Amino acid sequence: MSTRVLLVDDDAAVRDALAQTLELADLEPVTAGSFVAAKDLITADFDGVILSDLRMPGRDGFHLLSYARAQDADLPVILLTGEGDIPTAMKAVGQGAFDFLEKPCAPADLLAVLERALKTRRLVLDNRRLRALIETGDPAARMLFGASQLAEGLRARVRRVAVTETEVLVTGAPGTGISKVAEVIHLCSARSKAPFVKRAAAALDVAELSEALETARSGSLFLDEITQMPAQAQLSLLEALENGTETRVIAGSNRDLAASVEAGQLNSELYYRLEVTPVRIPSLSERPEDIPILFRHYVAQASEQAGLSAPEITPQVVAGLMARDWPGNARALMSEAMRFSLGLAEEATPDTNLGLAEQMAQVEQSLLEQALRRAEGRAVVAAEALQLPRKTFYDKLTRYGIRAEDYREK
């Protein structure tokens, strides 16, 4: 949250005293001795609030209020007034001032009003960013593909986590796209217009971590493979998070984090701090129905980049994709799509004598086998995963000569 307060008062002694009060409360005073000196800072994107004397030579607090509302009607202006000017100050509130305080005011009263004003300003600016985000589309829908329940669940989780403003821990198997999900979290948040900075955690010492946090200030810093961050840098990161950094930290890992904590590779306090809002990316083996969707998208993307027409993706091609385990997940599927688009994929010679029904049967057989492989030969579990009645599932196994026991561990 911004802590900036534009402090406008023609009395230098009062101005300095107020600035000191703000600094002691960890606020950031920006001082000006007149409206003219403050004018250039009063803009629609000013992320702080204004504290101004009502009575000043030349352009007074009323003029400043009128100007500020013309720039941004939601910019909080708090007026300081003498005892005889209270009716005038109340009139200013009726014209849009956030509040007024009688001079001399107690520091506690001043800070309470400023805290309310700063929270109000933050909410206004956050809502504007979110509205702008909605107007430009939903990054989760644009960048995270798949029609499965797990894919939809991932998008929903990303959207929920994005608006929390807390630290995030993104995990998944190699190739699932951890850095991409981290970026989508950033783009779905109120920080979307601020920097998104990516760093390999293993390469960061304390000084480099501090530089990265500053570079991503007001935005998001993604730390790839947090378990590889040097121990001293982990302690420094934990301290920064506990002290309230202005940078949102999104950490990523494809390793067993509990084991990393046990082995002393990952600071346990840092792990539990990050693990408050986890996002786990499901692997392709958990959602095979998304494989054709992702592959088609990657083929279209690769073909466009290469300036080529996208080749036909036949049922036989899909069947071949579905029959594979894809330990490299989306990254491996993307590479396959690039080779396919360029005509470099190693594929079986298509049987041109097969009709559509026969080709679709190949796809169905591959889906059945894949489900049994994931369920380790447990037919009931496989049937539930495919959302098929048990009798229908067993009938299909019989039709294709598939035996569930062949997929059980020996």
Per-residue pLDDT 10s for the chain (410 aa) are: 578 999 999 999 999 999 999 999 999 999 999 999 999 999 988 999 999 998 888 888 889 999 999 999 999 999 998 766 777 778 878 888 898 888 888 999 999 999 999 988 987 887 777 666 555 568 998 899 888 889 999 999 999 999 998 999 999 999 999 999 999 999 999 999 999 999 999 999 999 999 999 999 999 999 999 999 999 999 999 999 999 999 999 999 999 999 999 999 999 999 999 999 999 999 998 998 899 999 999 999 888 888 888 888 887 888 888 888 899 999 999 999 999 988 887 654 444 455 556 666 777 787 888 788 888 888 888 888 888 888 888 888 888 889 888 887 75
Task: Give the whole-angstrom CA distance, residue 332 versus residue 6.
Answer: 53
Nearest Cα neighbor of 4 from 105, 157, 125, 147 is: 125
CA distances from 110 to 18, 43, 88, 90, 290 (A): 9, 23, 19, 17, 57
DSSP for 79-98 reads EEE-GGGHHHHHHHHHTT-S
Asked if residue 6 lies in contact with residue 46, where contact means CB atoms within 8 angstroms, the answer is yes
Positive or negative, the Cα torsion across 253, 255, 258, 261? negative
Q: In what order do the strands lie in the sheet with 49-53?
A: 28-32, 4-8, 49-53, 77-81, 99-102
Using DSSP's 3-state secondary structure scheme, residue 4 falls into strand
| Alpha-carbon span 366 to 361, nearest angstrom | 9
State which H helix or E strand residue 251 sits in: strand 248-253
Three-state secondary-structure class, residue 196 = strand
What pLDDT is recorded for position 232?
A: 97
- Quick one: pLDDT at residue 357? 64
> How far is the C-alpha of 120 from the C-alpha of 354, rounded, in Å?
66
Query: Is residue 205 within a helix (H) or strand (E), and if so which, with residue range?
Result: none
Q: Are 107 and 22 in contact (CB under 8 A)?
A: no
CB atoms inside a 10 Å sphere around CB 399: 12
Q: What six digits make up the tokens of 397?
A: 């196994």
Q: Give the list of residues 6+ apart from residue 252 with CB closer than 8 angstroms, or none.
A: 169, 170, 171, 178, 179, 182, 222, 223, 224, 225, 226
